[in-house]
Amino acid sequence: MPANETAPPVKKKGRRARLIVLVLVLALVAGLGYGAYWSVDGVRASFPQTTGSLKVPGLTGTVDVKRDAHGIPQLYADNDDDLFRAQGFVHAQDRFWEMDVRRHMTSGRLSEMFGSGQVETDAFLRTLGWRQVAQAEFDTKLSPETKKYLQAYADGVNAYLKGKSGKDLSVEHAALKLTDDYRPEQWSPVDSVAWLKAMAWDLRGNMQDEIDRALMATKLSQAQIDELYPPYPFDRNKPIVEGGKVDGGKYTPQGVTGSGSGTGTGSGNGSGGNAVGGQTSTVTGPIGAPTDAPANGLADNVAAQGATVGLRTQLTSLADTLDKIPAILGPNGSGIGSNSWVISGKYTTTGKPLLANDPHLSPQLPSVWYQMGLHCRAVSAQCQYDVAGYTFSGMPGVIIGHNADIAWGMTNLGADVTDLYLEQVKPEGYVYDNKVLPFTTREEVIKIAGGDSKKITVRTTNNGPLVSDRSEELGTVGSRAPVASSAPDRGDGYAVALRWTALDPGKSMDAVFKLDRAKTFDDFRKAAADFEVPSQNLIYADNKGTNGNIGYQAPGRIPVRGQGDGRMPAPGWDSKYAWKGGKDNAGYIPQSEMPWDQNPSRGYIVTANQAVVETGTGAGKYPNLLTTDWGYGARSQRINDLIEAKIKDGGRISTDDMRTMQMDNSSEIAALLTPMLAKIEVSDPGVRAAQKLLDGWNYTQEPDSAAAAYFNAVWRNILKLAFGDKMPKELRIEGSCMSVVGTGTGPADDLAKTVRECGTRDSDSAQPDGGDRWFEVVRRLVKDEKSAWWTSPRTITLPAVTNRDELFARAMRDARWELTAKLGKDQSTWSWGRLHQLTLKNQTIGTEGPGFMRWLLNRGPWDVGGGEATVNATGWNASSGYGVTWVPSMRMVVNLNELDKSRWINLTGASGHAYNAHYTDQTTMWAKGELLEWPFGKEAVEKATVDTLTLKPEGAGS
């Protein structure tokens, strides 16, 4: 899956006085001001009761909460309502601060908690209308059963909140109460549903790529852009599903064997019209002037797709706005993703399938995941669940995990589910097919802690809300855009609208409960049909038959476009570019046509954000367009290779082998470039000494490796010299300024000509980020020693670079002196872990507060191995530095032969309370690649239990 922070960073703007108060409060809470009273009463007051008994209103019977040595709870109840009511209660015990901030974020109400610094974020989120869509889902789409569970969960949260405020809830709430007299409100079912919108936002696909390509067009040619977005290498990196076909409105896998093939139906009547790679679709030259061009080669159509110089300002502003929106799950870059794979029992030591999953998300404290078991004492029609795994605080059910019959995992499919539309606006409305249509409008009032409220008006076209209304710069979009005579009059400018599948109400919450109680592959596929957003790769295993069954399903609401392929912003005034079906939810690829697989002959399935299936026309090609922006398969193919190496000649894979694969640190780009770097002639003795570190290196990025540290520094500098310095400033990291002297070819007086330009992009989304797209770019260019990309202008002290080897030599030099500055002159002390560190930040207060508060609430750093686009994906953005920006947020290995021998780990711990024993008690084990025992059966859970809390009905005896 799933790509991020549990809560958004609190902006500094307008908050200095409030932060000073918070520092003083937290000093007291830490016992630094008023001794034992604040140390005990302030810190421990919010710790949950984990033994004895508590009365919970609404329960009809008792619920046992059994926690193990790491505080992980397993809940036992006699009916579904009691089970989910207890889940809400326990989530609130450990994570209510996280839940409270999250619901304010999803509803655009952060300013109520944190003041004026959050108004801009709130305004954008109100414009998207997550809360309204969640309300519509609850009112019109979800099943009565799901609504009942959501209400029971909300009742459990509210039972915990009853009579509590401030320090009784968390250290953070204590601070808010003393500064603003803040009082948490009651939890509602829609608060839970809205969390799915935040998930979908972070996993929305290629929207950032769409913006980046448009901005690149202001400085680069279309041919150059195409080189930076190469096609997926199907000849080298396998897709998830091989073969298969769509016939008669149904997808049929190649060579399906075993029982339970399933039918997996879904809604949607769109069945064509999506141009895939190599096909021709009608696009436009200057906006409004149709031309024919390959869908993936828009060399003459930049203006049509909104990537003109005139749109540079507004697209930059939109990108800046997106950077400020809280990322719940992680930065949306080309290296982020997740791993999952499943091995048939015929290739395992257990004789039944093994399933592994590790979603790559942003490091945060507490982790976005919460481990939990939900058990009916006796499974029946009244009590249907016996499931354990990873949950989201604020949502009922288990998102990823296993029950007594099946296991499942998720990775982000990466489908293109967003489009930006350039809209021609007038005072009375917007232009659509030569008519002026009225906006749909609504007013929103943003309440601000410690200040006056702010009113905004949200305007929506038939392509979606006008996201440009939330920026002053975007208010006059298109002021210089060249357009053809067939385009509408410029007027006061063009606006930008967002079309996104998640803004249509759906049934994804239904899918969670269906997955939790599924018993067969048929059940699994029917549940997947409801998992509309975010679109995920779902893998499956069960314990049926001789070797069990394994499977895969690609679910999700994927749009069918008219014209265009979603790679660039489209002209919103032309209905030819609209999604088919408009707003009636019909314009999507039918679920029956989505790829799936069961028991493939190879005996395993790997999903790691690579292409789902090879698209195009002809035998074995998939006809529908899912996206053109897949991950490029570095991780997935490495996993494929590891599995193949293990099972060849009759080998079998164990649970520990799965764990070892999850920690694989091998670097594909290092294997490609290191032999070349070793041959570069170097005269500087310091650089030559660093070059020798690469001799005999096996390309693995262990935390104690000096070679890994030096190679990654060289890689970062190659990217900067070859690509980063040629990017428009809107894509380069904020504050990175270039002073290029002369042209490198003219007379000496050219030295007097200096060009200085500074980047403006946020560190998480700056380019080149070094993900596996850049692996593929360099792989394709590296044989061309004279490519223009391998050039760099002269500087005051260095001559111009004119070819690949000269650029590599410059990068090796720059890397040597960069590491000298960062790690010291003595290369024997260098290590990758010293550069590549993980720091866990307590969200909101621990992210941008003063240093003392960060020290109080944050943890780390940890020196870690792994890296960008490796299986052990401790990601880093090469534009901004080496620090860890996303991680395997959890790891699990499910043993379908003996579920109690499954293993799991979380990034942090069960508790969201600073100073609780379970705040970060899993992190060091996580960093070492260790996994905890995962008890599931009654006897195993009982054996692992160290604390038992009994929740009782309100009228029960003491």
- The pLDDT value recorded for residue 346 is 97
- The pLDDT value recorded for residue 657 is 98
Give the 3-state secondary structure of residue 643.
Answer: helix
Question: Does position 5 have pLDDT exceeding 70, yes or no?
Answer: no
Residues 878-903 have a mean pLDDT of 96
Q: Give the distance from CA 188 to its chain's centroid.
A: 26
Number of residues written out for the chain? 958
If you ran DSSP here, which 8-state letter would residue 910 be given?
Answer: S
Least confident interval from 420-434, 470-484, 938-952: 470-484
* 508-542 pLDDT, tens digit each: 999 999 999 999 999 999 999 999 998 899 999 99
Reported as a pLDDT band with limits 50, 70 and 90, residue 259 is: very low
Residues 6 or more apart whose Cβ sits within 8 Å of residue 202: 3, 4, 327, 328, 329, 330, 332, 534
Instruction: Please list, residue by residue across 473-491, b when 16 or more beta carbons sit within 10 angstroms of its beta carbon and e when fewer do.
Output: ebbebbeebebeeebbeee
Who wins on pLDDT, 507 or 618? 507
Whole-angstrom distance, CA of residue 902 vs CA of residue 438: 57
* 669-698 pLDDT, tens digit each: 999 999 999 999 999 999 999 999 999 999
Question: Mean pLDDT highest for which of 38-47, 277-286, 813-822?
Answer: 813-822
Q: Give the distance from CA 484 to its chain's centroid.
A: 39
Assess contact for 883 and 836: CB atoms under 8 A.
Answer: yes
Nearest C-alpha neighbor of 912 from the set 380, 394, 470: 394
Whole-angstrom distance, CA of residue 701 vs CA of residue 699: 7
Continuous segment of H or E residues that includes residue 270 = none
Q: What single-letter amino acid sits at 873?
A: A
Task: Find where tokens 């490519």 sit.
Answer: 787
Q: Give the distance from CA 621 to its chain's centroid.
A: 28
- The pLDDT value recorded for residue 756 is 77
Residues 6 or more apart whose Cβ sits within 8 Å of residue 926: 891, 905, 906, 907
- The pLDDT value recorded for residue 54 is 97
Q: Give, in order, the Cα–Cα distances in Å from 88 to each of 56, 92, 185, 395, 425.
A: 11, 6, 15, 8, 46
Q: Give the distance from CA 940 to its chain's centroid.
A: 34
Q: What do you get for the CA distance between the two ends of the chain, in Å?
A: 44
Exposure of 831 in the CB half-sphere (CA atoms within 13 A): 11
Continuous segment of H or E residues that includes residue 904 = strand 903-906
Question: Does position 431 have pLDDT exceeding 60, yes or no?
Answer: yes
- The pLDDT value recorded for residue 478 is 41
Who wins on pLDDT, 579 or 673? 673
* 53-108 pLDDT, tens digit each: 999 999 999 999 999 999 999 999 999 999 999 999 999 999 999 999 999 999 99
Residues 844-871 have a mean pLDDT of 80
- The pLDDT value recorded for residue 265 is 38
Residues 852-880 have a mean pLDDT of 90
Assess contact for 100 and 165: CB atoms under 8 A.
Answer: no
Continuous segment of H or E residues that includes residue 223 = helix 222-228
Reported as a pLDDT band with limits 50, 70 and 90, residue 308 is: very low
| φ, ψ of residue 792 in degrees (nearest 5) | -155, 135
- The pLDDT value recorded for residue 480 is 38
Whole-angstrom distance, CA of residue 886 vs CA of residue 338: 10
- Give 570's strand partners: 421
Residues 6 or more apart whose Cβ sits within 8 Å of residue 767: 212, 723, 724, 727, 731, 732, 761, 879
Assess contact for 75 and 50: CB atoms under 8 A.
Answer: no
If you ran DSSP here, which 8-state letter would residue 509 be given?
Answer: H
| φ, ψ of residue 89 in degrees (nearest 5) | -65, -45
* 478-517 pLDDT, tens digit each: 443 334 445 555 455 578 899 999 999 999 999 999 999 9
How many CB atoms neighbour CB 899 within 10 A? 20
Burial grade of 748 (CB within 10 A; 0-12, 13-18, 19 or more): exposed
**In the chain, % of residues over pLDDT 90:** 65
Who wins on pLDDT, 731 or 744? 731
Whole-angstrom distance, CA of residue 72 vs CA of residue 92: 14
Q: Give the distance from CA 575 to its chain's centroid.
A: 32
Q: Give, in order, the Cα–Cα distances in Å from 275 to each of 352, 460, 615, 626, 714.
A: 41, 27, 10, 10, 39
Residues 6 or more apart whose Cβ sits within 8 Å of residue 509: 137, 142, 146, 150, 192, 193, 196
Q: Give, in order, the Cα–Cα distances in Å from 400 to each of 76, 473, 512.
A: 19, 42, 9
Assess contact for 458 and 448: CB atoms under 8 A.
Answer: no
Assess contact for 274 and 560: CB atoms under 8 A.
Answer: yes
Whole-angstrom distance, CA of residue 84 vs CA of residue 376: 11
On the question of a cis peptide bond just before residue 850, with omega within 30 degrees of 0, the verdict is: no
Give the 3-state secondary structure of residue 949.
Answer: strand
How many CB atoms neighbour CB 37 within 10 A? 11
- The pLDDT value recorded for residue 757 is 82
Question: Does position 847 have pLDDT exceeding 80, yes or no?
Answer: no
How many CB atoms neighbour CB 896 within 10 A? 28
Exposure of 21 in the CB half-sphere (CA atoms within 13 A): 14
Question: Does position 923 have pLDDT exceeding 70, yes or no?
Answer: yes
Whole-angstrom distance, CA of residue 151 vs CA of residue 145: 10
- The pLDDT value recorded for residue 471 is 65
Question: Does position 745 have pLDDT exceeding 60, yes or no?
Answer: no
Question: Does position 152 have pLDDT exceeding 80, yes or no?
Answer: yes
Nearest C-alpha neighbor of 913 from the set 429, 365, 475: 365
Give the 3-state secondary structure of residue 98.
Answer: helix
Task: Find where tokens 């403006």 sit.
Answer: 760
Q: What single-letter amino acid sits at 346?
A: K
Reported as a pLDDT band with limits 50, 70 and 90, residue 41 is: low
- The pLDDT value recorded for residue 826 is 95
Residue-averaged pLDDT of the chain:
85
Helix axes 144-161, 80-106, angle to 10 degrees: 80
**In the chain, % of residues over pLDDT 70:** 80
Residues 6 or more apart whose Cβ sits within 8 Å of residue 797: none
Whole-angstrom distance, CA of residue 173 vs CA of residue 7: 14
Q: Give, in order, the Cα–Cα distances in Å from 835 to each of 116, 670, 713.
A: 36, 17, 9
Tokens found for residue 237: 């990196």
Who wins on pLDDT, 489 or 164? 164
Residues 822-830 have a mean pLDDT of 96
Assess contact for 371 and 71: CB atoms under 8 A.
Answer: no
If you ran DSSP here, which 8-state letter would residue 736 be given?
Answer: -
- The pLDDT value recorded for residue 133 is 95
Nearest C-alpha neighbor of 416 from the set 304, 328, 533: 533
* 287-304 pLDDT, tens digit each: 333 223 333 322 233 333
| φ, ψ of residue 372 in degrees (nearest 5) | -165, 150
Residues 6 or more apart whose Cβ sits within 8 Å of residue 547: 344, 345, 346, 351, 352, 353
Nearest C-alpha neighbor of 263 from the set 653, 527, 556: 527
Residues 924-934 have a mean pLDDT of 98
Residues 747-774 have a mean pLDDT of 78
